[in-house]
Chains A and B, each alone.
Chain A
Amino acid sequence: MAEYPGKYTDWQAWLADKLFMGLPFGQYVRGLITPFNFIALIIVCVGVALAWIRFTQGLAATTNLTNDYPWGLWIGFDVLCGVALAAGGFVLASTVHLFGLRDYYPLVRPAILTGFLGYFFVVVGLCFDLGRPWRLPYPMAVSFGVTSVMFLVGWHVALYLTVQFLEFCPAIFEWLNTKKLRKWVGYLTIGATVFGVILSTLHQSALGALFLLAPGKVHPLWYTPWIPVFFFISAIIAGLSMVIFESMLSHRVFHSQVKDHDPAHVERLVIGLGKAASVVLFTYFCLKWLGVAHGQHWDLLFTPYGYWFLLEVFGFVLLPCFLYAHAVRKRSARLVQFTSVLTVLGIVLNRLNVSIITFQWNLDERYFPRWSEFAVTIFIVTVGLLTFRWIVNRMPVLRDDPRYPAAH
């Protein structure tokens, strides 16, 4: 840590350089006045106001949750989808560091950052939903419900958040230019990656296993003893698709950060990821049918919930599987990117189907989120995006730091 004071005669200049991206303060602030930021500001203001209401007046004042629908949008989307869509971190880290597909290195850091922020904001969303969020550490320190799948989820998300932070540390230390620490965290890469894959395998599937305790509540077409496996496999799909989707966004949003990228190389990577996603989607498609066969629920396919199931399985699993395969054959990165959006929507649909849409399918009462639940979810996603942008604009995430030539 003792390196930078010598280089920066004025610590204020150093700070300004880190915070304002080397721009004079006035110019930096003027640069912030954009339509996107204006909308984001409104969302954040509404979100803060709703947070105030949530934490001073309770869940009843902000949600439509009932005794039969104890989990709503904040769990169904913020937590279940959040964790699945943040799976890119472990997928890409293992691809590059363990399986040796080094070409994909440029995608690892953005994937890990998305993963870390994804999990971080999952916990933020969870805090909105928990009755007493200040007791979040209780399962770690006060009272241990070791028979609970939720206990495993809690521990693993906490551990994985730590692991992902360690995995992202190289970018932070390169940004701060602290060579010793950078070198030190470099040694952790393989260990952290292995541990990250283990934790991800377990908690991605554990999120599905939570619903094993709800037979008769989750619709039989979605309830299967293999739901943990389904959640894990579909998380890999979600992770791959999110990395593809991000590569498209980064290209459009962060021009200056990706200017050194060779577009042909990026396209090759995107197509490679599309190929992988296609294969995993096909596996997942087969598994879904094994689930139906195992439960012998063929008759249920010809009910309204059955049509809904068929829509999910054909429209959001098999169709993207074929589209990815077609795009790979045609070597069309654009089609791969389009398909990634469809695939991500499909995973979101699946998580919502399990946790909300088909949940309590034999009751007359239905749950639909209140506007404030949507607003808080949008607020959390927006703050996540703003944080992502803040970091990407400063730290070597999409670009390499010239002082640290790719040590990979």
Chain B
Amino acid sequence: MSTTLATLRHGAIELALHLLKEGEGRPLLVLHGLGERSPEELPAQYASWPGAVHALDFTGHGSSTVPAGGGYTAEILMGDADTALAELGQATVVGRGLGAYVALLLAGARPEDVRGAIVLDGPGLAGGGSTPSSPSVATVDPTAPAPPDPWALVELTRDPRPPDYATTFVRQAVSFSGLDRPLAVCAIGRPAWVDAVLHEPGVAETDLAAALTLYASV
């Protein structure tokens, strides 16, 4: 079983940051996909990471607060991940699906502190596509058990992720991280934002083991 290292405060939300493995050196921050929660045990693929491995439950997921009234955006979840980064200092970030998109945003927003971001397949990778679909007013079943917050499931599958917005974050990471390849794409999925990111200089297309080896050495 994992142990909860810390309950972190992000605005009105209490975030659960789990410690999956102790270690020396730079920590690895694991971000789950949409509707998921942090793994309860260290996934085998991260066992070789030399530093500590932490996993964050996003707002409305796992052991973090499920707030009233929804209002989710990928940028707010970037704020969740940034709250963890403030606790950990420099980290390498790996995300599944929605968490992969958040890892990209964070890598561009905090280029000195994110020492490599890894994009993996997982729930919520595509979001709402490149442009908004026709708007609608969403409803959820208020009696549905949470977590995950049903508003997160609805809202984070509708948020537009324009390719040129995603590449802006890549360019920030490339310009200010000092890393040759601050982003590694290890996903099979190719929503438009991932495809655009792969066409940017400074993005590695590789497998997870190679990406972890790459960032463990920087």
**A complexed with B:** no
A→B interface (CB under 8 Å): none
